[in-house]
Amino acid sequence: MLKKLGYKILICSLYLFAAVSLAEARTLLFVPADNRPVSLEYAVDTVKAANFDILVPPEEYLAGRGRTGEPEQIWDWLNENAPKAEALVLSADTLIYGGLVDSRTHDFSDYVLNWRMRRFERLRQRNPQVRIYVFSTIMRSPHGTAGGVEPAYYETYGPDIFRLTALEDKAESAGLSPDEKQTLHSLQTTVPADYLADWLQRRNKNFRVNAKLVELAKGKAFDYLLIGRDDTSPYSQSHKESRLLEKMAAPLSSAAYGSFPGADQLGMVLLARAYNELNGSKPVVEIQYTLGAGPSTVASYEDQPVDRTLRDHIMAAGGLVARQSPHPDLVLAVNTPLSNRTPEAGVFENLPLHSEATNQFVLDIAKRLRAGEAVAVADIAFANGADNSFLKELYDQGLLDKLSAYSGWNTASNTLGYAIGQGMMARDMSDAARKRLLLVRYLDDWAYQANVRKEIYREMFSDEQRSPEYLNWHEAEVTALTDARIKAFARQYLWVDPAAINISFPWNRMFEIEVAIGKGEQDQEQGTDSKEK
């Protein structure tokens, strides 16, 4: 009897030990592209809200505004902490160059880059049981730039460099008209040869690094490799390089490799993949478009139709795509424009006007929610901010706080990655945690990006001597004004105590803000709607 009792106690102890070990093992390690809120804080907050622990490098090692990253220190930290996690989500740009901006401006030799590449192989050898997910970017091909995030000459010659290399890409893939050939010849004589050579030699290094990452993925150094195309176009140097990498990656299955437009959302997408695979889940995502161009839309800063991009994102995040499903794990409602253009959110046309198409789309979302389905919204009708008509309709219908996730920032792919990632992880979030993430996105994407930012541009920076790219001595004034405007917006539309909101400009520029919400600010526990009925 005692022997049987002892055996039962032993078995129970083993089960208990296994359960505790499994709980303790729910830890991700994350190396972001830099310390911007969308790269670091917002992604980390999402993982924590889904009840995972997450390890990140000391922030002083990460690239910041006017500060390069410290790849060697981050590698040392990674090697020390990798055994503590079940999965690693790693920015190759950070581990090789120091950060995303560093990848565009560095002067590292091939020897240094190759040395850091070999460290990925040793990481796998030392941690054979840990899942390793790596994301990298094809160096962007912007039409122009400002704010010191490209080499200095790009502010003057960037548009010409873009057009020159776009025409070269088109010449290879589709052919040029006589006028385009003449334009290409003119640009080849206009752009200073030393500037073009500097830009291309850094791109060539970036291309070789990405090609090596593909080879490492073939050799099973990674469980999954994701390569994003930062600020690209249907014809561009980025598009050309992606075509070449796609051929190299052809032997890899979709379970091991993915590539699509965008950069800032890549970490969130792979954190969602790690979350899903560690939970043994493969969520079914049903896509629902509003009326209009919908899936055929080619968004600004991107080089392929939205429908393909969306499917690529869902698969990269570890999900399955369904056009219609009787029991989807997540409905992704995608707000696209009536036309196939996605203009900037700051344009005059982005006013909160009534639209039958928008009204019907919101009614469809409401029906899904009433049926008990989880709905995440990707708002990509405009670039760099929310669609005011759409958000106002969600507010009028009392749906803002009912969604699993909302996103409407920067490029379409940035938005898609966040909506999918946060939407997938929402099922393990408390009601309060889910609503806190929603608040951050509404305050950032809707209040600031689509409304307050353009007001401040108009009121404070009409004088050409006061550049909005660098706040510098205007930071305190701009911050105070932005904080007041966003709090007034929250008071009108959201369920948060405005006094709990704190706004800052972590990169000293108008392009992005950081939204922080203090404790005790929400009344979700009492079930308050986003609009009083």
DSSP codes of every residue in 196-261: HHHHHHHHHHHHHHHHHHHHHHHTTS-SEEEEEE-S--SSSHHHHHHHHHHHHTTTS-TTTEEEEE
> What does 356-372 look like in DSSP terms, one character per residue?
HHHHHHHHHHHHHHHTT
Q: Give the pLDDT of residue 523.
A: 41
Chosen CATH of 281-470 out of 3.40.50, 1.10.3470, 3.30.750, 3.30.300 = 3.40.50
The C-alpha atoms of residue 172 and residue 510 are separated, in whole angstroms, by 38
The C-alpha atoms of residue 123 and residue 221 are separated, in whole angstroms, by 8
The C-alpha atoms of residue 242 and residue 236 are separated, in whole angstroms, by 10
For the chain, the domains span: 28-142+203-279, 281-470
pLDDT tens-digit profile of 16-56?
434 434 445 489 999 999 999 999 999 999 999 999 999 99
Q: Give the pLDDT of residue 232.
A: 80
Residues in the chain: 533
Q: Give the pLDDT of residue 460.
A: 80
Q: Which two tokens stand for residue 97?
A: 């160059």
The C-alpha atoms of residue 269 and residue 417 are separated, in whole angstroms, by 6
Place of tokens 């057009």: 163
Q: Give the pLDDT of residue 257.
A: 97
The C-alpha atoms of residue 505 and residue 110 are separated, in whole angstroms, by 35
Q: Give the pLDDT of residue 124.
A: 97
The C-alpha atoms of residue 50 and residue 429 are separated, in whole angstroms, by 5
Q: Give the pLDDT of residue 275.
A: 98
List the strands of the sheet with 284-289, edge to edge.
320-322, 284-289, 330-335, 375-379, 405-407
For the CA atoms of 185, 173, 207, 220, the dihedral, rounded to the nearest 10 degrees, stands at: 180
Give me the residues of the chain with pLDDT under 50, please: 1-23, 25, 465-466, 520-533
Q: How many CB atoms lie within 10 A of CB 372?
A: 6
pLDDT tens-digit profile of 431-469?
999 999 999 999 999 999 999 999 998 888 765 544 556
The C-alpha atoms of residue 164 and residue 185 are separated, in whole angstroms, by 9
Report the candidate in 200, 299, 303, 290 with the shortest Cα–Cα distance to residue 243: 303
Q: Give the pLDDT of residue 146.
A: 62
Q: How many CB atoms lie within 10 A of CB 461?
A: 16
Q: How many CB atoms lie within 10 A of CB 505?
A: 18
Q: Give the pLDDT of residue 253.
A: 94
pTM given for the model? 0.89
The C-alpha atoms of residue 384 and residue 8 are separated, in whole angstroms, by 60
CATH architecture of 28-142+203-279: 3-Layer(aba) Sandwich (3.40)
